[in-house]
Structure 1
Amino acid sequence: MHYSEQKLTEEKVFKDPVHRYVHVRDQVIWDLIGTKEFQRLRRIKQLGTTFLTFHGAEHSRFNHSLGVYEIIRRIVDDVFHDRPKWNKEDRLLSLCAGLLHDLGHGPFSHSFEKVFDLDHEHFTQEIILGNTEVNAVLTKVHPDFPKRVAEVIGKTSANKIVISLISSQIDADRMDYLQRDAYFTGVSYGQFDMERILRVMRPHEDQVMIKQTGMHAVEDYIMSRYQMYWQVYFHPVTRSAEVILTKILHRVKELYQKGYRFKQEPAHFTAFFENTLTLEDYLKLDESILFYYFQVWQDEADEILSDLCLRFVNRNLFKYVEFDPAKEYKKLAELSALFEKAGINPDYYLVVDSSSDLPYDFYRPGEEEERLPIHLLMKSGEIRELSRESEIVDAISGKRRTDHKLYFPEDILKDDKTKKNIKKQIRTLLDMRS
């Protein structure tokens, strides 16, 4: 029997708090889970700094990746099986792409990516195509198979149905992370009727469609996503932790470039600073490594780096006020000048942070990020875009919500041992209580 068709002698299961069990029968999937690149995801948190806001949010990218795989397994084995517009040959491709879709995430992924101008999807493809254990497993299926998996994840594959299973406005990725993140944060916002959605999914030409009878379950899913973004993912305390984390990385990079002598040299970061990054360098980094550096950098001579690390490790985060940079730019300039006078570096201690989300959008050709809309399969056989049928979705369709906050160290501004009058002016401008 060919490797792609080999089954385990006995089904393996992972106990899962969201899906109850994750089922593995394919030898290929079992071998991929055992690779060192996939096991690394145990050491990358799914929600980055959110654990500093919601203390249960300690789950990993490993958990989530297994969850996405399980949802896709149920779709292709139970829902799409024997349906006329589903190609059974795409089953293993779908399972592998779902399992590996987050393989390239780094520690505190999005903050880390911003500082070093990286893209986790690029590294996901590099791991799949490079000299890795994952590549060796996929190549055993077929020499061309790693490329096919990478193209699905990179959304460049001609196989649009498989792409839409993993990356669309209603996909296995979102369905898992909404429920999983809600479970571990302890909130109810991310709950929706996934069972119903799976039952009404249908393969149709170049994307997955939803039967008209499942429209209300999809409405619930979209509103769940909307609530999770604003109540959990964009929580201002989590964003404060991200601001500090980002500033730590910026400070280390600046000090390195200036030739600063570290007590603990940032050896794991050298390749990032010098633009000599290899896949091997990237894979050596995980969150345990970053936390080690944050711990030891608390004792560095550089006051800014030491203070920021103390804040992150001990959860002494920045406070915030609502702020509109478009309308209050003069106020920001005034505050920056006062921070300088007070001996507080505004580059690190006065930060505007913006959150923005588009909960649902219809198709806009030519946009930088083209979003494939959700289509309903009507009883008549007609295909209708979701917002044309749903008043709820129409009300939020194409409407981007943006939120701005100004972050600062309240404890320093309330310490009147030095620069008392200047700090008082700052507090007045920030409308802080004296």
Structure 2
Amino acid sequence: MSQTNKLKIFNDPIYGFITIPNTLIYDLIQHRYFQRLRRISQMGMTYLVYPGAHHTRFHHAIGCMHIMQKAVQTLRFKGVDISDDEENALYVAILLHDIGHGPYSHAMEKSIVEEVHHEELSLLFMQELNVEFNGQLDLAIQVFKGEYHRKFMLQLISSQLDMDRMDYLRRDSFYSGVAEGNINSERLIQMMNVQDDCLVIEEKGIYSVEMFLVARRLMYWQVYLHKTGVVAELILTKILKRAKELSQKGIILNCSQPLKFFLNNKISLIDFNNSILEKFALLDDYDVMGAIKEWQFHDDFVLSSLCKMTLNRDLLKIQMGDDKPNKERLLGYIELYMKKHSLSEKEAAYFVFKGKIKNQAYNKNDEPIRILKKNKKVEDVVEASDQLNLKALSKPVTKYFICFPKVVLEV
């Protein structure tokens, strides 16, 4: 009787061939929770700006696992003792670090589920998988929660220079075509070491770290916080909020059963029992986009208009600046739109609103990126660097915006 070959190979456009290290990783990848990530976009609505940005969280998770393998090899070569169980825990934790993402996750977190962060859901999924896999994820969960005594292992998974950031910068740069984000992840990994149980970068790798931080800053302004992408995601958030508002008034909206459940119920983290987690696991981008295609014909003006905007890429106008938008201007636009379409102020506020975005490539108050000097002293990268721009990169930059329908400018 033939058995399935579980040590398969992926052909990845970024790294080339990626090998699955063991049968547990194969079985986790094959699980329906993980396969769902094939249907969750990595960059949400960014494809409306960069048409190639259609890659998925599945791509990203596999890529993270691959560079984690490279990191483990490098650290072992440099004499860092990592047991087989610890190695496996690192692979499992990084593979599943994003498994809690919902469809168009950031819009989802602000509308359908009540401020439940994807990392909290990732942990719930990992705990559920651990039951199915008879406790084989115990150590991975410990590492993921930061409860394992070896601090550098968490830093490989979640820090300001982790495998997650290394993969998404390079991958998102590749698929969006924005070359400024194309970091040298191989060089960064080769320069990694562990000192006093902390992840460090050897001094000769400092320029690669500087390039990484500059790339992160540029990718945020050029891609993740591109004004068209920002307004598209905000419109999607408004669609889901309006759909939830109508559903909870008893108005029937055609959509998939899992989406209908989250529209009809207020769900916070405390509500996520096994049954609700299973319903969440049935949700993906197709549920949301299928619903939007259906809702464009709904009688509700707000819902149908916002859906048509998204489908036809006829978005609200967004203006960004360094100063907070004028309140009188905002109220004036709301009033004009109310009159034009006989809307209430609450309804018009779905189309005219303000907000702000923040870009900070490096946060000195978080876990630092440590540079190991030749004299064995460890310094924060900002102190170790001779580049003045790193100090600038550690300062948050806030921009304010106002969104409104183009038609109010024609009145």
- What TM-score, normalized by structure 1, do the two folds share? 0.85
Match of 2:261 among 270, 278, 288: 270
The amino acid across from 1:279 in the alignment is L
Give 2:329's aligned residue.
Answer: 331
Q: Which amino acid aligns with 1:171?
A: D
Q: 1:126 to 1:352 in 2, by over 3 A?
A: same
Identify if the C-alpha distance between structure 1 residues 327 and 236 changes in structure 2 by more than 3 Å, giving closer, same or farther. closer
String of CA shifts for 1:146-187, please: whole Å, max 9, x gaps.
343234333444332111001111111101000000000011
Match of 2:157 among 142, 158, 166: 166
- Pick one of 118, 129, 140 that aligns with 2:116: 118
Partner of 1:305: 303
The alignment status of 1:181 with 2:172, answered yes or no, reads yes
Match of 1:356 in 2: 358
Displacement of 1:58:
0.4
CA 1:327/1:267 → structure 2, altered by over 3 Å: closer, same or farther?
Answer: closer
Pair 1:31 & 2:37 matched: no
DSSP 3-state at the match of 1:354: strand
Contact 2:255-2:287 within 8 A present in 1 as well: no
| Paired residues of 2:239 and 2:303 also in contact (CA < 8 A) | yes
Q: Given that residues 86 and 203 in structure 1 are in contact (C-alpha distance below 8 angstroms), is that contact kept between their aligned partners in structure 2?
A: no
Structure 1 counterpart of 2:38: 42
Query: 1:59 and 1:197 mapped to 2: Cα distance?
Result: 24
Q: State the AA in 2 paired with 1:35.
A: H
User: Which aligned pairs between 1:47-58 and structure 2 lie closer than 5 A?
Assistant: 47-58=43-54
Match of 2:65 among 66, 69, 73: 69
- Which residue in 2 is equivalent to 1:5? none
Counterpart residue identity of residue 304, structure 1: V
Matched, 1:219 2:218: no
5+ unaligned residues in a row in structure 1: which ranges?
A: 1-7, 365-370, 415-422, 425-434
CA contact (8 A) 1:161 1:205 kept: no
1:240: how far off? 1.5
How far apart, in 2, do the equivalents of 1:226 and 1:149 lie? 31
| In 2: Cα distance, 1:311 partner to 1:90 partner | 49
Residue number in structure 2 paired with 1:418 = none
AA aligned opposite 1:315 = R
Matched, 1:347 2:328: no
Alignment partners' CA distance in 1, 2:241 and 2:383: 46
Q: Does structure 2 conserve the Cα–Cα contact (< 8 Å) formed by 1:65 and 1:102?
A: yes
Task: Give the C-alpha shift of residue 395 in structure 1.
Answer: 2.4
CA contact (8 A) 1:65 1:99 kept: yes
User: Do the aligned partners of residues 9 and 282 (structure 1) sit closer, same or farther apart at CA in structure 2, a change above 3 Å counting?
Assistant: closer
Per the TM alignment, residue 272 of structure 1 is displaced from its structure 2 partner at its CA by: 4.9
Which one of the candidate residues 243, 249, 253 is aligned to 2:234?
243
Distance in 2 (CA, whole Å) between partners of 1:259 and 1:9 is: 51
Secondary structure at the aligned position of 1:348 is classed as: coil
- Does structure 2 conserve the Cα–Cα contact (< 8 Å) formed by 1:97 and 1:150? yes
**1:15-46 Cα deviation digits (max 9, x unpaired):** 01111121123111111111111111000000
Amino acid at match of 2:44: G
Which of residues 403, 411, 414 in structure 1 aligns to 2:399?
Answer: 403
The Cα of 1:259 is off from its aligned counterpart by 2.1
Q: Does 1:202 align with 2:222?
A: no
| Superposed displacement of residue 223, structure 1 | 0.4
% identity of equivalent residues:
31
- What is the alpha-carbon distance in structure 1 between the residues aligned to residue 29 and residue 308 of structure 2? 36
**In structure 2, what is the Cα distance between the partners aligned to 1:233 and 1:297?**
27
- Matched residues in 2 for 1:357 and 1:348: separation? 25
* TM-aligned CA deviation for residue 324 of structure 1: 5.9
Closer, same or farther: CA 26–356 of 1 in aligned 2, 3 Å: same
> Do 2:232 and 2:310's aligned partners in 1 also have CA atoms closer than 8 Å?
yes
Kindly provide the amino acid, as one letter, of the partner of residue 195 in structure 1.
E
Larger radius of gyration: 1
TM-score by length of 2: 0.89
SS state of the match for residue 391, structure 1? coil
State the AA in 2 paired with 1:242: E
Q: CA deviation at 1:297?
A: 0.9
- Any conservation in 2 of the 1:243–1:351 contact (CA below 8 Å)? no
Distance, in Å, in 2 between the alignment partners of 1:263 and 1:269 is 8
Change over 3 Å in CA distance of 1:27–1:380 after alignment to 2: same
**Residue in 2 that maps onto 1:317:** 315
**Is 2:257 the partner of 1:259?**
no
Distance in 1, matches of 2:369 and 2:220, equals 19
Aligned-pair CA distance for 1:267: 5.8
Q: Do structure 1's residue 384 and structure 2's residue 379 form an aligned pair?
A: yes
- Please tell me the residue identity of whatever aligns with 1:349: F
Letter in 2 for 1:52: L
Gaps of 5+ in 2: none
**Separation in structure 1 between the aligned mates of residue 207 and residue 87 of structure 2, nearest angstrom:** 28
- Structure 1 residues 47 and 377: CA distance shift in structure 2, 3 A: same
Look up the SS of the partner of 2:193 in the other structure: strand
CA shift digits 1:60-89 (9 cap, x unpaired): 00000000000000111x201254443324
- Please report how far the alpha carbon of residue 249 of structure 1 lies from its aligned counterpart in structure 2 after TM superposition: 0.5
Choose from 123, 145, 156 the match for 1:154. 145
1:96-111 alignment runs, 5 A limit: 96-111=92-107
Alignment length (residue pairs): 393
Aligned-partner SS, 2:10: strand
Deviation sequence 1:88-118 (CA, Å, 0-9, x none): 2411111111111111100000111011322
Task: After superposition, give the CA deviation of every residue in 1:247-282 in whole Å (9 maximum; x if it has no partner).
Answer: 100111111122224355876232454235510111
CA–CA separation in structure 2 for the residues paired with 1:386 and 1:265 = 49
Structure 2 equivalent of residue 428 of structure 1: none
One-letter amino acid of the counterpart of residue 396, structure 1 = A
Structure with larger RCO (C-alpha < 8 A, sep 6+): 2
Shift, 1:407, TM fit: 1.3
- Two-structure CA RMSD over aligned residues (Å): 2.2
Aligned pairs for 1:402-421 within 5 A: 402-410=398-406, 412-413=407-408
